[in-house]
Structure 1
Amino acid sequence: MLSWEYPPLLVGGLGRHVHALAGALAAAGHEVTVVTRQAPGAPRVEHLEGVRVIRAAEDPPAFEVTGGDLLGWALAFNHALTRAALRAVRGHRYDLVHAHDWLVAHTAVTLRDHLDVPLVATIHATESGRHQGWLPGAHNRTIDDIERWLCAEAHRVIVCSEYMRAEVIRLFGVPAERTEVVHNGVDALRWRARPRAVAAARERYAGDDGPLVSLAGRLVYEKGVQHLLAAAPRLRERFPGLRLVVAGDGPYRKDLERRAGPAVSFAGFLTGHDLTALMAASDCYVVPSIYEPFGMVALEAAAAGTPVAVSSTGGLAEIVEHGVTGVCFPPGDPDALALAVGGVLADRDYARALASRARQRVVDDFNWPAIAARTAAVYDSTRPPAPELPELLLTRRPGVPMAVGVG
C-alpha cells in the first residue's frame, strides 16, 4: 500500500483513511506493508498494529512548493518512495499493489511491473473536482493527466461514493465495470471524548452565554469555510454569544482570518484527543464544502455525538439524511447555512435526536472491519480467473481405479 501521508505525518483525511484501512486489513489476517513518507522522529521501519510500515526519507535538495505546484516535489518524492518500496519487497511475496491518489502514481506503476501483480488505485479526490472543473495552470493539467493515467493503469479503481464514481467515469473514461464504491470508515470508539476533555474544550472555546459551532479541515477554497464565516453574523444575531471555532491549517488561512469577525477563533491543526474534544464540545459541527468526495469528517463528528450540518454536495449528500442524521443546505449559500445551523441550535431535543441516529448509523454502516472486507473483495476481483480445464478423458479398465487424463 502506497500513501504520501501516514501517522504520525498527517495532512488531511487520506492519511487517517490509509492508517485505519491498513490496520483493519491486518486484523482480518492480511499481510499489509505500507510505504510512505518519512515523518520527523518516526522510525524508518516499524511494525505497528500488525502493519509493516516503511518510511522513505525525502531526497535533497528541498523543492519549494509555490502556488500549489507540487510537481517538482512529487517527482523527487516518487524517486525516494520507489527505492524504499523496492527494498521493502525483497524476500516477500505480494499479491497486489494499492495506490492512494496521484502523488504515488509513478511508484505504483513501477512496483506493479516489478512484481508483476495487479494494481488497485483509490482516487480520493480529483484535481478537476477540487477546482470546480477549472484547471488554471500547467501543473493543474498535469496532475489531471497523472490521475487519468493512474486510472488507466489500474486493474480496479476504488472511489468513496457514487458521486466520485460518476466523476472518474466522466473525467477519465474509466469503464464502469472497473470502478468500485467502497465508503470510508470511522472508528466510532476512537471519537468518543472523555467528559473532562470535553469540559476543558468547552471552557476554552465557548462563551458563557452562547452555543459553540465548529469546523475542522484543511483550509482551502473548496472546503467552503468562507461561507460559514459569511453566515456567522446572521447566527450571532439570532444566538448572541455564539462562538465559532475553525480548526485546521492551509494556504487559505490568512485570507479567512481577514474575513473573520471577533467571535471566530482559529485553533490551528488539531489531532487526536484535542480534535475529538472540540467536536464533542460543540453544539453543531458544520461541513460547508463546495467539493467533497465523501466527507469523512462529518462521520467523525457524528461519532463524537455532535449534530452535523453539511452542504448537500458530493458524498455528503449520500451519507447525511436531512432531518434524520443531520441537516443539509445548498453549497455556497450562507443564508441557507445559517438557517440550517440555527434550526439545530434552537431545538436541543431535535439536535440530540439527530446526533443519536447519526452515531448509530456510523456504528452500523461505516465500521472499519466492514470497509476492510469490502476492500478485500475488490482485491479478490483483480485475480485472473482460473484457467478452464480441457475436456477430461475418463477411462475405466476392469480392476483398475478410475483414472483422470487431461487431453
Structure 2
Amino acid sequence: MRVLMVSWEYPPVVVGGLGRHVHQLAEALAGQGVDVTVLTRRPLGTDPASHPTTDTVVNGVRVIAVAEDPPEFDFGADMMAWTLAMGHGLVREGLRLLRGGSDPWEPEVVHAHDWLVAHPSIALADFFDVPLVATLHATEAGRHSGWVAGQVNRQVHSVEWWLANTADALITCSTSMRAEVSELFFPGDGATPITVIHNGIDLTAWEFAERPPAHGPAELLFAGRLEYEKGVQDLLAALPEIRRTHPGTTLTIAGEGTQLDWLTGLVDEHELAEAVTFAGRQDHDGLTTLMHRCAAIVLPSRYEPFGIVALEAAASGIPLVTSTAGGLGEAVDHGETGSTFPPADVAALTAAVARTLDDPEAAAVRARRARAVLTEDFTWPVVAERTAAVYALATRRDRRPLARPHIPQRPLPHRDPNNPIQDDSAG
C-alpha cells in the first residue's frame, strides 16, 4: 500500500507531540511493508535559498520537506495566511516531486494530520482520487473548553469541521476525543467513521529506573507545553498545601509555551519563588534525567486528547499523578498504574500528590505496573497495524457540496473566566 502522510511537523522540525507521533507511525508502517511518503515543511522563517526543498529517504520513509516560499508571513501574527501559504507550497512541490522523473509515485491513501494540513491534504486526495484519512489530534473548541468566539478560533474550528466532514475515515487518539469530535462535527446522521487508536511509544528510547529510597524533601516534575489547558496553574495552587504537609517539596517545570510569564506571576503570587524551577524545554536526555531524579510527575491537564508524556514517564519508571482529562483517564488506571484526580480540582490534586509522597513503595509498585501495560497496548507496531487496517477499509465516498458550518459562540458552564486564553490561538 502506498500512503502519503501530510504533516506540518516532522523531524527535524518538531513543534510538539504531533511531530513525534507522525515520525514514529511512519517508520513503524514502513517497517511493516507499507510504502510511506511524508510531505512536510522546512523550518519556520527560512526560504528556498537558505533551506531548499529536500527529498530524502530516512529509515525506510521518503520525506519531502518543502521550502517556505519567499513572501513575508509570520506564523504568530499571520497564522491563517501562513497556513494557506504552507499548504500551497506542499501541493505544488509535492506534485512536482511525486509525479516528476522517470518513476512517478501515486498514493493509494492520503493521511492528513490535523487541521493545519487540511487544504493540501484535501487537494491531493482529490487530485489522485484516493481516500482521505485524517487524524484529529485535538480540537480548537476542546482546547478552549467549548469557547470559539475569537476570529482565529472560529477559522480554525471551521477548517477542522471541513476536514472532518470531507475525510473518508477519521482517527482519534482516545475514546474521549472520538466523543468530542462526534459532538462538535457530526451532531446529526451521516458521520464519517471514527476509529480510536491510542498513541504509541518506543520503549527502547526510555530507560526504566527503579525509584531510589526516599531521603529528604521530594522533587515533583511537570513536563509539557506551558499552556492554559495543561493545568500548571492548578499544580501551583496546590503546591503551598503540599509543602505544608511535606516540607521542602519542590517543583521543576520542564517546557515552554505562551503562558510562561503568567505562570511566573502565579509563582510569585503563591510565594513559591524558592520552590519552583522553570527548566525550559528539555531534550530527550535532559527529560530522562529529570524523570529518573524526581519523586513523581504531575500532569494536571484540564484538556488532553491523549497525553503522550504520560507514556514516556511510565516507560522511565517515575510514578504518575495525573488528571482524568481526556486520554489521560484512559491511559492511567487509578490505584493500579498511577494516582488520578478530576481536572481543575486543586484539593483532589493535592491529595493525589500526598498519597504518592506518603507511600513511595506503593508508588513504585504502580510505576512498574504502568511500564508493563505499555508493552501490551501502546507499542508502535500495534499502532501501525491498527492504522494500516483503517487504510485498508477506507473507501472514497461521493463528494457532496458542504454548507458553511454553524459555529456556536457559547461558553460551556465550566468555562473558567480567568482563562487568559479566550480568543486567538496558535492551534
TM-score of the superposed pair, with normalisation by structure 2: 0.83
Is contact 1:186–1:299 with CA below 8 Å preserved after alignment? yes
Contact 1:326 1:358 in 2 (8 A): yes
* Helix, strand or coil at the partner of 1:317: helix
Contact 2:165/2:191 (<8 A) preserved? no
1:118 alignment partner in structure 2: 131
Contact preservation (8 Å) 1:97, 1:112: yes
Q: Is the 8 A contact 2:208 2:317 kept in 1?
A: no
Amino acid of the residue matched to residue 28 of structure 2?
A
Partner of 2:56: 46
2:334 counterpart (308, 313, 322): 322
Question: Residue 79 of structure 2 corresponds to which residue in structure 1?
Answer: 70
Residue 315 of structure 1, CA deviation: 1.1
Determine the structure 2 residue equivalent to 1:355.
367
Residues in 1 aligned to 2:201 and 2:392: alpha-carbon distance in whole angstroms: 23
Which secondary structure state, in structure 1, belongs to the residue aligned with residue 6 of structure 2?
Answer: coil
Aligned to 1:382: 394
Does 2:194 match 1:185?
no
Which is further off, 4-13 or 95-104?
A: 4-13
Q: 2:90 aligns with which of 76, 81, 87?
A: 81
Q: Deviations over 1:322-376 (max 9, x none)?
A: 0001111111122211110111111111111110000100111100000000000
Q: Of 378, 385, 389, which aligns to 1:373?
A: 385
Q: 2:71 aligns with which of 61, 76, 83?
A: 61
CA offsets 1:133-165 (integer angstroms, 9 cap, x no match) = 001311111110100100111110100111111
2:17 aligned residue (13, 35, 41): 13
Are residues 1:223 and 2:230 paired?
A: yes
User: Of the two structures, which has the highest relative contact order with CA contacts closer than 8 Å and spacing of 6 or more?
Assistant: 2
Measured at CA, do residues 136 and 43 of structure 1 come closer, stay the same or move farther in structure 2, by a change above 3 Å? same
Query: Corresponding residue for 2:262?
Result: 255
Q: Which residue of the partner structure matches residue 364 of structure 1?
A: 376
Q: Given residue 66 of structure 2, which amino acid in structure 1 is its aligned partner?
A: A
In structure 1, list runs of 5 or more residues that go unmatched. Answer: 200-206, 386-407
| Structure 2 counterparts to residues 173-322 of structure 1, below 5 A | 173=186, 175=190, 178-192=193-207, 209-260=216-267, 261=272, 262-322=274-334
| 1:297 to 1:64, Cα distance in 2 relative to 1, 3 A | same
Q: Is the 8 A contact 1:287 1:311 kept in 2?
A: yes
CA RMSD of aligned residues (A): 2.2
Aligned equivalents of 1:87 and 1:219: distance in 2?
39
Is 1:164 the counterpart of 2:177? The answer is yes
Deviates further, 42-51 or 287-296? 42-51
Local SS of the residue matching 1:310: strand
Match of 2:402 in 1: none
Larger mean Cα displacement after TM superposition, 259-268 or 376-385 = 376-385
Aligned-residue identity in percent = 49
Query: SS at 1:89's partner residue?
Result: helix
Q: Are the counterparts in 2 of residues 193 and 277 from structure 1 also a CA contact under 8 Å?
A: no
**8 Å contact 1:194–1:277 — kept in the other structure?**
no
Of 303-312 and 368-377, more deviation after overlay is shown by: 303-312
Higher mean displacement: 49-58 or 69-78: 69-78
Q: 1:356 to 1:42 in 2, by over 3 A?
A: farther
Provide the C-alpha distance between the structure 1 equivalents of 2:71 and 2:208, rounded to a whole number of angstroms. 42
Distance 2:56 2:279 in 1: 32
**What amino acid is the match of 2:254?**
A
Give 1 or 2: higher helix fraction.
1
Which of structures 1 and 2 has the bigger CA Rg?
Answer: 1
Q: In the alignment, which residue of structure 2 is the partner of 1:400? A: none
Indicate how the Cα distance of structure 1 residues 43 and 351 shifts in structure 2: closer, same or farther if over 3 A, else same: farther
Which residue identity lines up with residue 314 of structure 2 in the other structure? A
Identify the match of residue 165 of structure 2 among 149, 152, 165: 152
The one-letter code of the counterpart of 1:216 is: A
Contact 1:214–1:284 (CA<8 Å) still a contact in 2? yes
Deviation at 1:93, TM superposition (A): 2.7
Give how far 1:193 is off: 6.4
2:35 partner SS:
coil
Q: CA deviation at 1:243?
A: 1.8
1:108 alignment counterpart: 121
Q: Distance in 2 between matches of 1:257 and 1:115?
A: 50
Say whether the 8 Å CA contact 2:53–2:67 is kept in structure 1.
no
Q: Deviations over 1:289-335 (max 9, x none)?
A: 11111111111100111111111111111111100011111111222
**What is the identity, as a one-letter code, of the residue corresponding to 1:143?**
V
The Cα offsets for residues 51-79 of structure 1, whole Å up to 9 and x where unpaired, read as 11111121233323457x62122111111
Moved more, 369-378 or 235-244: 235-244
The one-letter code sitting in structure 2 at the alignment partner of 1:51 is V
Shift of 1:95: 0.9
2: CA distance, partners of 1:194 / 1:47? 34
Q: Report how far residue 23 of structure 1 moved.
A: 0.7
Q: Specify every segment of 5 or more residues in structure 2 that has no aligned partner in the other structure, as ranges.
A: 398-427
Aligned to 2:111: 98
The residue aligned with 2:408 is: none
